[in-house]
Structure 1
Amino acid sequence: MTLHDVAREAGVSVATASRVLGGGDRKVSDELSARVQRAAARLRYAPDLSARAVRRGTSSTIALIVSDISDPYFSAVASGVIAAARRARMTVTIAATERSTLLELETVRAMRAQGHRALIVVGSRPVRQSEDDLVAEIARFEQAGGTVVLVSQPVLPFSTVSLDNAGGARSLALKLVGHGYRSFAVLAGDRRFATVEDRISGFVKGLGQVGVELDDDRIFAGSFSRDGGFETAQAFIESGLQSVDLVFATSDVMAVGAMAAFRDHGIRVGSDVGLAGFDDIRVASLVTPRLTTVAAPMAEMGAAAVELALSEPGERMIREFSTTIALRESSPRRAR
């Protein structure tokens, strides 16, 4: 039963039925109020309290969807979301999609039905796959009165917190060439996702600015994980590219996996080959040798997403965060 059914049964307008059952400020006569209440009882109608809370902006929960909560990048963004939500006296419901676009769509649909005040979706967008169904589902969340923010590439028609992945990788390439490195290979994550492609393209562009080429056969694709880093490092080792003096992993998690593979083969990181990552997760400064990386302000990005999510609905807003380069012992300066 819907509010329209109650209004029809009571012989009143939908607006009147809404004022009676929704507890609005405008007064309704006792006679009309009684008619609406009796009609609601006959039809066993119960108002959707969660949807009402969203429409009034009084729901106290934020839905957070991340690709992989076990990945330190997403955990750091989530910690920023939770801290900012706590300051705003909000609570956070978290779901992980295992990097599945289908599960992401299903999770957004489930979150929409739960009546959250806002929805924050964290994860790289696919490079070529159509996302019309996801856009439509997120739009329904907005139409129900909620706000939506993505922490991703600014490619969908919603407010977005983004990271300059390409710019960070380009700056890293320039720094490494300045440190005396001349021959490179890349351990890439899943190239179906824009984050990976942005980091690869930025790195290649930076090398190109100083006349260094990176051939496609020096890019080894795998999963965006520690195991993916280990496996792509194995493929690099088996390729026999001994002339490479630095390997760039497109995430710190992959770089840590690569370290393990190099160690298993007796290759000393920082001496036999340089290694760099991206993100500056906590472990990057704890491994030996400490990892050179591109530092991303992940917690700050999560906090910014909450700020946008709790702002007044309006035009699509984009906030881009820049990166910094952390040069450490895994890529010591080389003699030219």
Structure 2
Amino acid sequence: MPTPTPDAPAARPAGPVTLQQVAERAGVSSATASRALHGSNGTRIVGEELRRRVLDAARELRYVSNAPAQALARSTTTVVGVVVHDVADPYFAAIAAGAMGVAREHGLLVMLAATFRDPELELDYLARLRAQRARAVVLAGSGFADRDFTRRLATEVDAYRADGGHVVAVGAHGIDSDTVRPANRAGAALAVRHLYELGHRRFGIVSGPRALTSVRDRLDGARRQLRSLGVMLPPAHVVDGGFTREEARAATRALMARAPEPTAIVVLNDVMAAGVLGALRDDLGLRVPDQVSVVGFDDLPFAADLNPPLTTIRLPLADIGARAMDMILTGPTIEARTIDLDAELVIRASTATSRR
């Protein structure tokens, strides 16, 4: 048999490669290999030459770090959980993107989880992330207006903190935590005032599931503004669009069958607003904004491309995710912090002066 030359690479070991094998290939101790690959919280820093030898050996052997073992050693990981309601919803996609951008800059890995608006699943994800020793969790989905759930969530958050984790909430969750708070009430009030200043007095609202605190906040902001302006809002003029285009479409047909027929509709998110516009234009043969004006909420990327382009309330969605991640990077404080982010009215072609 031919004898291997001194420069020939050694064979890759069969089976999973261990840290000890990487250390042997690099000619260093296991402790040195661990510090080179995973960093060190102490004062013993691996020199650049040794670190490069270890990295080269790990690459040659295709070594994969044992993340659970590292978590036990460090009492945490570089993983941050971001819990949303629906990954297909552009609202949550934008928030997650903002969080991921900051995480990438700081070497953190974002684990995205969708609850599909199931509160039990949110509790389950939080418990799983705690068991995995995730560094932090961003609760980016809306809170649930349920006292028993809120109590159980608070208990789970307390347990997470006791294990060294950090929880940041987006919006109202009823828990004592760092919070990034979008201007849901103020944004809905902006929408109402804009329509009122255009002369509208007959309003309808296409809402979402009222078990969600974000929906309640937006609905409360719209109602309060209408009351302050002396405008009546019949209970039958608030319909549930289910946060989907098709449900909002059906809700709009039901709304426009009620007297007095609204001349202005406030829609509590842009996904539903797309369904509202479709129902008014295609199902009911009504012209927007000549006969009915429509205002959405969130200013999702497609809002400007609807027919007509949608007047809406802009929330800084990517900034919401980024600010939540910034709070994680600065670490928890003794007193919970709140960051308030403003809403902005974006006027496009779906609103006009009332002619009725």
Is 2:351 aligned against 1:320?
no
State the 1:328 CA deviation: 1.2
Is 2:179 aligned against 1:179?
no
Number of equivalent positions: 290
**CA–CA distance in structure 2, aligned partners of residues 117 and 128 of structure 1:** 27
Number of the residue aligned with 2:71: 50
Number of the residue aligned with 2:349: 329
State the 1:132 CA deviation: 1.8
The 5 A counterparts of 1:1-336 are 49-55=70-76, 59-130=77-148, 131-153=150-172, 155-239=174-258, 241-242=260-261, 244-262=262-280, 263-314=282-333, 315-334=335-354
Contact 1:78 1:302 in 2 (8 A): yes
State the 1:279 CA deviation: 0.6
State the 1:163 CA deviation: 0.9
SS of aligned partner of 1:239: coil
Contact 1:189 1:228 in 2 (8 A): no
Residues 312 and 335 of structure 1, relative CA distance in 2, 3 Å threshold = same
Structure 1-normalised TM-score?
0.81
State the 1:292 CA deviation: 0.9
Deviations 1:76-133 (A, max 9, x none): 1001001111111211111100011011111111111112111111111122342222
State the 1:51 CA deviation: 3.9
Residues 166 and 25 of structure 1, relative CA distance in 2, 3 Å threshold = closer
Provide the alpha-carbon RMSD of the alignment.
2.0
**CA–CA distance in structure 2, aligned partners of residues 73 and 191 of structure 1:** 18
Contact 1:151 1:160 in 2 (8 A): yes
Contact 1:167 1:202 in 2 (8 A): yes
**CA–CA distance in structure 2, aligned partners of residues 312 and 195 of structure 1:** 26
Number of the residue aligned with 2:62: none
Contact 2:137 2:168 in 1 (8 A): yes
Residues 261 and 335 of structure 1, relative CA distance in 2, 3 Å threshold = closer
Contact 2:202 2:260 in 1 (8 A): no
Deviates further, 191-200 or 229-238? 229-238
State the 1:67 CA deviation: 1.0
Contact 2:185 2:217 in 1 (8 A): yes
Deviates further, 223-232 or 297-306? 223-232
SS of aligned partner of 2:350: coil
Contact 1:190 1:224 in 2 (8 A): yes
State the 1:264 CA deviation: 2.1
Contact 1:120 1:305 in 2 (8 A): yes
Deviations 1:153-210 (A, max 9, x none): 1621111111121111112211211112111001111111111111111112112222
Residues 289 and 24 of structure 1, relative CA distance in 2, 3 Å threshold = closer
Residues 216 and 269 of structure 1, relative CA distance in 2, 3 Å threshold = same
State the 1:66 CA deviation: 0.6
**CA–CA distance in structure 1, aligned partners of residues 158 and 70 of structure 2:** 20
Gaps (5+ residues) in structure 2?
1-39, 44-67
Number of the residue aligned with 1:31: none
Gaps (5+ residues) in structure 1?
1-22, 27-46
Deviates further, 127-136 or 176-185? 127-136
State the 1:321 CA deviation: 0.8
**CA–CA distance in structure 2, aligned partners of residues 280 and 201 of structure 1:** 20
SS of aligned partner of 1:313: coil
**CA–CA distance in structure 2, aligned partners of residues 299 and 64 of structure 1:** 13
Deviations 1:255-312 (A, max 9, x none): 1111122222212221221111111111111111011111100100100000111213
Number of the residue aligned with 2:6: none
State the 1:241 CA deviation: 4.1
**CA–CA distance in structure 2, aligned partners of residues 24 and 167 of structure 1:** 45
**CA–CA distance in structure 2, aligned partners of residues 25 and 76 of structure 1:** 38
**CA–CA distance in structure 2, aligned partners of residues 276 and 139 of structure 1:** 40
**CA–CA distance in structure 2, aligned partners of residues 160 and 24 of structure 1:** 29
Deviates further, 284-293 or 218-227? 218-227
**CA–CA distance in structure 1, aligned partners of residues 41 and 347 of structure 2:** 60
Percentage of matched positions with identical amino acids: 30
**CA–CA distance in structure 2, aligned partners of residues 301 and 136 of structure 1:** 25
Structure 2-normalised TM-score?
0.77
Deviates further, 138-147 or 79-88? 138-147
SS of aligned partner of 1:310: helix
**CA–CA distance in structure 2, aligned partners of residues 180 and 220 of structure 1:** 22
